[in-house]
Structure 1
Amino acid sequence: MNRTAKQLVDYVPQYVSLYDVDYRDDLDGHEDIQEECIRSNSLEKLYEKAYKWYEEQESSNMHGYLEETRKSMESDGCAEQFEEHEDEIRELIYDRNGSDPVKDLIRNSSVTNFFYSLGVEISGYRTDIPWRGESVAMACYKVRRALHLKKGQFDEKIEELVENAAYGGELRIYFNAMFDRLVSEDAENDFRSIRFYGNVVVAIADSLNGSGHHVRIPLDLTLPFRRDNLFVDSQVHYSYADEVCGMANDWCDSTKWETGMTPSTGSVRKSRMAEHQKQEAVYEKIFRSGKCTFGDMNFKRHRDVRYSNGYPAGCRCPHCGTFWID
């Protein structure tokens, strides 16, 4: 801003608010955007959306501040200077804006159900064979090892977990969080560890077929932080908390957590859920094009599905042949 314009800054309001987020506006219905922020370790996607949502409001408020400034300058006989420096005055209004729609939306939002995958797959029963893919003893051993427990510690809880997750699945820890606390916004200096403590919700969940079980175990467990293993539960089909169990949002409040910048010993295998999400995106794209895919077990991505009482009884998609046995 040149010298003449600098002499005019007093005409611009000292405190500017271009965005006014209603207390009822939040991100509770936008967990897909939260997932994008977690994946990219950045709030950029959310800011893009928020500025688009409030674009009209921003434009209206900017017009109001410009008009207020113009009238103030006209009353002092400076109308020509306003016309000459309007763009610079507009920039000053932006500089003095103290409102942030993203911060307000986050402040209005509830916690989100997350899970952290331990990268361990438990093999359960299969539809084509009458026995488990691995023994209960082996499955319990894998759970204890992942949770850094010795034999004899919480054996009953672990056996309950394994035996009730009859079809197996991925070993996970569920917790609630404000999603922005899991965004470091620094790819070169991301979190190094994540600690779970309190009455920790441990689950074996099969997102591919929609089953699982969970228990609460008093733990204090610090693991290496691997962003690829962190997920918004609702964004992984089948969602364990919602689609499988129909849980209330606070169901995993008992798990306490914190991230750290000090590296943790040990390692965590990469979750297969990232690949599962990519496959889900492909299925969704095909469905939106008017078609469907054999083997896609999401009932909602098939049309004209019919039930048959014949043997074996179940539902079949007449277009691709996908079958859901009773």
Structure 2
Amino acid sequence: MVDIFETLPSIGNQKPDTESLKDGFKDIIFGSIAGMTGKLVEYPVDTVKVRLQSQPLSGPLHFEGPFDCFVKTFREEGLRGFYRGLTSPLVAAALENASLFVTYNYAQDFLIRNVYRRTDTVLPVSVLVGCGAFSGAVTSFVLTPVELIKCKLQVQAFYGTSSAAKNRSLVYHIKQIFLEHGLRGFWKGHLGTFIRECGGTASWFGSYEYVSSLFRSANNCSTNTTPEAIISGACAGIGYNISLYPADTIKSRMQTMSITSGSDKGGKGFLEVSRDIYKSGGISAFYRGCGITACRAAPSSALIFVTYETLKEWGRDL
């Protein structure tokens, strides 16, 4: 295949304001499409991950492991069970990736304009890691409300106390959260999302840029082939998920507590939930579903980066 994948730092070159706005709009569109494409592929595994993370802290576990969760979900709910709550994360994926790419590229552009002051600057990977952390911090505020609802929808079929509780709709959860906690309630578990996104996104973009640069150096060229982009994207996905997985487990536990335990128990905070998880199963309890999550992240992230870069190439003349 023709070498069409150019390094992302080139996006940060100084441009007129109108051109920057145009590129920002393209990032929103291309990032949204890439994010939704990746989400459709990874969502069944994400459902399994959340159900494993949200198991009761006391008593026997509902699932023995990822395979058992797959089998029980399919047996009790069919294929539909793996896609419970898909609407919310599909919107989230569009918002998340649009936000990630826009803010990531904005951070680069800002540094080139105001720190390096040279339009031909290629930012080092260490700086790009910082740009990724900034991007994740901003995006965490977008993600938390959508993930809160998504997690509730994913676990209610197994932990709901009645037939009605097992089939509550997206609208029901939105109304219930607002009535019980107001707008602030939509950001329950935000600290976990913030920590995960800051570190995870830094690792996501950093891994992609680093592996991509290794291929370019080895081939002595300025572009990456499609297979190289796929490998770089897969490494990025694995890096993102294993870097701060415990924070994601704590976040999922906080966001599903009202379903799995029947109440919010006074709205336990990040540290209190962390202690509860540790007491229930030690360090390993923080990593329930981590292996399968890393496996699904590899193809999903590869698809996101390849889709984004392909669209970026096609849209250069627009």
More helix by share: 2
Q: TM-score, normalised by structure 2?
A: 0.25
Instruction: Give the TM-score, by structure 1 length.
Output: 0.24
Larger RCO (alpha carbons 8 Å, 6+ apart)? 2
Q: Which has the larger radius of gyration?
A: 1
